[in-house]
């Protein structure tokens, strides 16, 4: 439920982020396709309407329920592996390690979903509609390169999600404890406090994740065979042609999306947990 809340709240800015990250470098004398976040938003809205901002959303929606279930399960397992008793309070490095484990768990689901989402998000902007939808995209990718084609960019997804997930959960737990009034339990936090903690966790998560995310978006949407050595070729090309700043393409869109999307995610998670504890307190 937390994951579904995140996708609905954050997908429009995710679409803008991917389009900014994957837009081609303009030729001499030509202007860039998008001048920035606001320009990309306006052009997408004018050309494709509101639905254009939700291109490729079906893939993450389908994957988000098992993905976030596995994500929060991985974090819980990471905590349990480091606790001698269920009541042990973990240090922040231990919480970071537990969060990193959740990133490993989610990659198997995240990588193909990201690949499909990115391809669908950029095709409308390029003017070449190759895929009719998520399932058509999966079929074509499988027909062209088998399972490897669907999972293209898995290593980069791992490079992005493992450290970023560690930062994500550690920041959320730290802010939860910081915002909890003396004598109260973190489970009793007010809705505004949960929203703030979740939103800031998203900001810290993406501060770590943006450079590998740019490389992943470029690699996953590139024609087959363009980067034979994987992310090293993408990194070399980006720095050579556009400088180190290119690793932070889409920064504004990412940060604008990070707070509301992750605030919605953690609020959804906390509300779902309270509801489940209410209907089945002994499970």
**CATH class of the region 158-282:** mainly alpha
Lookup result for tokens 């689901």: 109
- Which portions of the chain are predicted below pLDDT 50? none
Spell out the residues 6+ positions from residue 145 whose beta carbon is closer than 8 angstroms to its own.
152, 224
pLDDT tens, 131-169? 888 889 999 999 998 998 899 989 999 999 999 999 999
pTM of the model: 0.76
Digit-coded pLDDT (tens) for 22-64: 887 787 878 888 888 889 889 888 888 888 888 878 777 777 7
% helix / strand / coil in the chain, to the nearest 5?
80, 0, 20
pLDDT of residue 124: 65
Q: How many CB atoms lie within 10 A of CB 31?
A: 8
Please state the domain extents for the chain.
Answer: 158-282
Whole-number Å distance between alpha carbons of 270 and 13: 24
For residue 157, give the nearest of 204, 107, 228 by alpha carbon: 107
C-alpha closest to that of 203 among 260, 156, 132 = 260
Coil/strand/helix, residue 156: helix
Q: Which residue has the tokens 């707070």?
A: 259
Computed from CA positions of residues 80, 82, 84, 88, in that sequence, does the dihedral angle turn out positive or negative?
negative
């Amino acid at each position: 439920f937390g994951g579904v809340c995140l996708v609905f709240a954050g997908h429009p800015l995710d679409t803008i982020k991917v389009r900014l990250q994957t837009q081609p470098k303009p030729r001499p004398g030509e202007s860039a396709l998008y001048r920035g976040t606001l320009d990309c938003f306006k052009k997408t809205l004018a050309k494709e309407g509101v639905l254009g901002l939700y291109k490729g959303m079906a893939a993450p929606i389908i994957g988000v329920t098992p993905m976030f279930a596995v994500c929060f399960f991985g974090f819980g397992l990471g905590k349990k592996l480091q606790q001698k008793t269920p009541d042990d309070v973990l240090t922040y490095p231990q919480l970071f390690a537990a969060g990193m484990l959740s990133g490993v768990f989610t990659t198997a689901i995240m990588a193909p979903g990201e690949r499909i989402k990115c391809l669908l998000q950029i095709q409308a902007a390029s003017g070449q509609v190759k895929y009719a939808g998520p399932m058509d995209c999966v079929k074509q990718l499988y027909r062209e390169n088998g399972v490897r084609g669907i999972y293209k960019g898995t290593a980069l997804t791992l490079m992005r999600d493992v450290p970023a997930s560690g930062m994500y959960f550690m920041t959320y737990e730290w802010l939860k404890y910081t915002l909890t009034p003396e004598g109260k339990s973190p489970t009793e936090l007010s809705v505004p406090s949960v929203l703030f903690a979740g939103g800031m966790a998203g900001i810290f998560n993406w501060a770590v994740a943006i450079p590998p995310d740019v490389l992943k978006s470029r690699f996953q949407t590139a024609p087959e065979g363009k980067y034979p050595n994987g992310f090293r070729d993408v990194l070399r090309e980006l720095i050579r042609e556009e400088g180190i700043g290119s690793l932070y393409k889409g920064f504004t869109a990412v940060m604008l999306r990070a707070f509301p999307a992750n605030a919605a995610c953690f609020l959804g998670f906390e509300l779902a947990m309270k509801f489940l504890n209410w209907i089945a307190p002994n499970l």
